[in-house]
């Protein structure tokens, strides 16, 4: 009950129209030079793919997510895209997906790749990217501790929302398909490590 006392709705502020340019501090990448792999989803503004990316000076490729926008976006839709990029660039929280870069030709943003890996449960090829995927997959298993896991997930969603609200941001489309799931930080733990 104490978690809900701290929770406050953000104050909605009216700001001027977003600038059509993105600040110089946001890293750039060339989406046209990036081989897109698995398609994770499709929305009204574009498609979401995984890709392998190697930053300059990095010796290792990393799997990332690329949100590639439709090429038929009008000026208002482009302004919304630029606003989202600037907003994501300013947010730094463990429960908010991190922006890695932006591309202008074609218009796209690169994000960290988040997923729940079922390898720990003996299913090597099974991953859930969203809470909606996770809930569908978990129905197939008889998992002990599911109630505690869902309580932990709810707390992390609340922590992420509280952070957004502290920054004056309202999510406006919170649903299981838009809540990313991850256990990647647990996958590297040995049996000697404790999970808190």
Per-residue pLDDT tens for 59-99?
888 999 999 998 777 888 888 889 899 999 999 999 999 99
Strands 36-42 and 62-69: unpaired
**Does residue 157 surpass a pLDDT of 90?**
yes
Percent of the chain with pLDDT over 70: 81
Question: Which CATH code of 3.40.50.880, 3.30.200.20, 3.40.50.300, 3.30.420.10 fits the domain covering 25-113?
Answer: 3.30.200.20
* Domain limits, the chain: 25-113, 115-191
Question: Quick one: how far is CA 157 from the chain centroid?
Answer: 12
**C-alpha 86, offset from chain centre:** 15
d(CA 35, CA 54): 11
b/e 21-46 (16+ beta carbons within 10 angstroms → b): ebeeebeebebeebeeeeebeeeebb
Q: Which residues pair with 167 in a beta bridge?
A: none
Share of the chain above pLDDT 90, in %: 38
What is the rounded distance in angstroms from the CA atom of residue 79 to the CA atom of residue 75?
6
Q: What does the alpha-carbon distance between residue 181 and residue 114 come to, in Å, rounded to a whole number?
A: 7
Residue 23 has pLDDT above 80, yes or no: no
pLDDT, mean of residues 38-61: 87
Q: Which residue numbers are catalytic? A: 173
In this prediction, residue 13 has a pLDDT band, given cuts at 50, 70 and 90, of very low
pTM of the model: 0.77
Residues 6+ apart with CB under 8 A from 86: 18, 22, 23, 26
């Amino acid at each position: 009950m104490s978690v809900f006392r701290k929770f406050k709705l953000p104050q909605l502020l009216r700001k001027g129209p977003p600038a059509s340019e993105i600040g110089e501090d946001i890293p750039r990448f060339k989406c046209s030079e990036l081989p897109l792999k698995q398609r994770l989803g499709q929305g009204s503004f574009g498609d979401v793919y995984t890709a392998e990316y190697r930053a300059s000076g990095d010796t290792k490729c990393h799997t990332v997510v690329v949100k590639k926008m439709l090429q038929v976006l009008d000026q208002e839709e482009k302004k919304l895209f630029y606003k989202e990029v600037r907003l994501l660039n300013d947010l730094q929280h463990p429960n908010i997906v991190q922006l890695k870069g932006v591309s202008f030709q074609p218009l796209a943003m690169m994000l960290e790749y988040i997923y729940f890996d079922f390898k720990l449960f003996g299913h090597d090829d099974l991953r859930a990217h969203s809470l909606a995927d996770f809930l569908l997959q978990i129905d197939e298993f008889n998992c002990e501790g599911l109630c505690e896991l869902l309580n932990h997930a709810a707390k992390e969603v609340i922590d992420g929302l509280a952070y957004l609200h502290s920054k004056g941001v309202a999510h406006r489309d919170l649903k299981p398909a838009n809540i990313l799931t991850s256990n990647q930080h647990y996958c590297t733990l040995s049996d000697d490590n404790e999970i808190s």
